[in-house]
């Protein structure tokens, strides 16, 4: 079998940051060691490491982001199992950087989750800051209050929210990708780890992807959640990314649409709209939670980033 080697240059900051994060915890290094022998389910890894499945899942997400592992779903008599396989055999970092006439550049912007510009929400909804519930639960009108800008978590069972983000950094540029990343999950009463929801994304009014969220996650306190947040409520989500390139749209690393930068007119006008919500005819009407940088497991809210020349 050919050796699968990662070759990086010392100036590839983003990839190196992901790799350093993946390697800087002994648990993740132990997982990579175990995967050198075979592929395992998350439950198998949790048993061998004597850790909760939720903890192992957290570390698996970081390793996957770095590109060290792949996750595939295997169907069996008990349902579906996520099988984890190693995707790297060696890592090489080059310290000699070539001069590049057209060096890639990167722009990134944090979008507060409460800064949405439009919303259509039905009861079974709410928002909270780090200090407490914003005004009241199950009151759609709260989503139009000035206090929404303080939100660090928001949830609804039906409807959508929409953001406008500037596109001045795309003007007269060769744009390689536009990406939105966020932590989200389904929305159930209290929480239910198995509660599927079809969460759909629209860009500039065009539907581009639907993510089947497997659940509304709880059972242990979210890593960043304030102490006052109830243990019986939603606790954390999963990191998801929507990337638009000149060729297509990716949900995480999977191409999901033939829409692209040109078709979606991302370089036209003054802004890009991103809508996130539950379609009225969705098969799984399981709502959604969206996390800010001080709720859930990941210290980011909605992040908008652009790679260009």
- pLDDT, position 97: 65
> pLDDT confidence of 242, banded at 50, 70, 90?
very high
Q: Mean pLDDT across the stretch 170-194? A: 94
Closest residue by Cα to residue 287 from 173, 157, 170, 171: 157
For 243-262, b/e burial (b = at least 16 CB within 10 A) is: bbbeebbbbbeeebbebebe
Helix (H, G, I), strand (E, B) or coil at 218: coil
Sign of CA dihedral 70, 76, 78, 80: positive
Record the tokens describing residue 107, joined without a space.
Answer: 């722009």
Pick the closest to residue 199 from 215, 180, 186 (CA basis).
Answer: 186
Q: In the predicted model, is pLDDT for residue 254 greater than 80?
A: yes
Convert the pLDDT of each residue in 265-308 to its tens digit.
999 999 999 999 999 999 999 999 999 999 999 999 999 999 99
Report the pLDDT averaged over residues 83-92: 84
Strand, coil or helix: 142 = helix
Residue 73 confidence (pLDDT) above 80: no
Closest CA to 200 of 235, 162, 172, 228: 162
pLDDT, tens digit, 9 for 90 and up, residues 51-72: 999 999 999 999 988 888 888 8
Determine the Cα–Cα distance for residues 185 and 233; give it in Å rounded to an integer.
12
Name the token pair of 186. 């389904």
**Mean pLDDT, residues 246-253 taken together:** 94
Rounded to the nearest 5°, which phi and psi values hold at 294? Answer: -120, 20
Phi, psi of 68 (to 5 degrees): -80, -25
Q: How far is it, in rounded angstroms, from Cα 88 to Cα 36? A: 9
Q: 99: pLDDT confidence band, cut at 50, 70 and 90? A: low
Per-residue pLDDT band at 123 (split at 50, 70, 90)? confident
- Bridge-based pairing of strands 5-9 and 90-94 is parallel
């Amino acid at each position: 079998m050919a050796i699968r080697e990662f070759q990086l240059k010392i100036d590839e900051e983003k990839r190196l940051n992901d790799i350093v994060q993946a390697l800087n915890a002994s648990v993740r290094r132990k997982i990579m060691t175990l995967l050198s022998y075979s592929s395992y389910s998350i439950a198998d890894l949790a048993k061998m490491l004597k850790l909760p499945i939720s903890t192992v899942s957290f570390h698996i997400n970081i390793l996957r982001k770095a590109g060290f592992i792949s996750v595939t779903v295997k169907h069996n008599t008990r349902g579906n199992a996520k099988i984890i396989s190693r995707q790297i055999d060696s890592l090489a970092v080059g310290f000699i950087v070539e001069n590049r006439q057209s060096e890639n550049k990167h722009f990134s912007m944090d979008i507060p989750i409460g800064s949405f510009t439009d919303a259509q929400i039905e009861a079974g909804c709410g928002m909270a800051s780090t200090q407490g519930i914003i005004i009241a639960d199950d009151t759609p009108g709260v989503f139009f209050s000035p206090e929404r800008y303080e939100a660090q978590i928001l949830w609804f069972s039906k409807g959508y929210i929409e953001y406008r983000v500037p596109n001045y950094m795309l003007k007269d540029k060769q744009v390689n990708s536009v990406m939105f990343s966020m932590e989200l999950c389904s929305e159930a009463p209290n929480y239910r780890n198995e509660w599927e929801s079809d969460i759909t994304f629209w860009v500039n009014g065009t539907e581009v992807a639907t993510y089947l969220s497997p659940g509304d996650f709880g059972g242990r306190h979210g890593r960043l959640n304030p102490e006052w947040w109830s243990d019986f409520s939603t606790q954390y989500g999963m990191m998801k990314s929507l990337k638009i390139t000149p060729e297509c749209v990716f949900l995480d690393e999977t191409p999901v649409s033939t829409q692209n930068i040109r078709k979606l007119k991302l370089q036209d006008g003054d802004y890009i709209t991103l809508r996130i919500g539950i379609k009225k005819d969705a098969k799984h009407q399981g709502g959604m939670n969206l996390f800010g940088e001080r709720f859930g497991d990941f210290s980011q809210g909605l992040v908008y980033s652009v790679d260009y020349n």
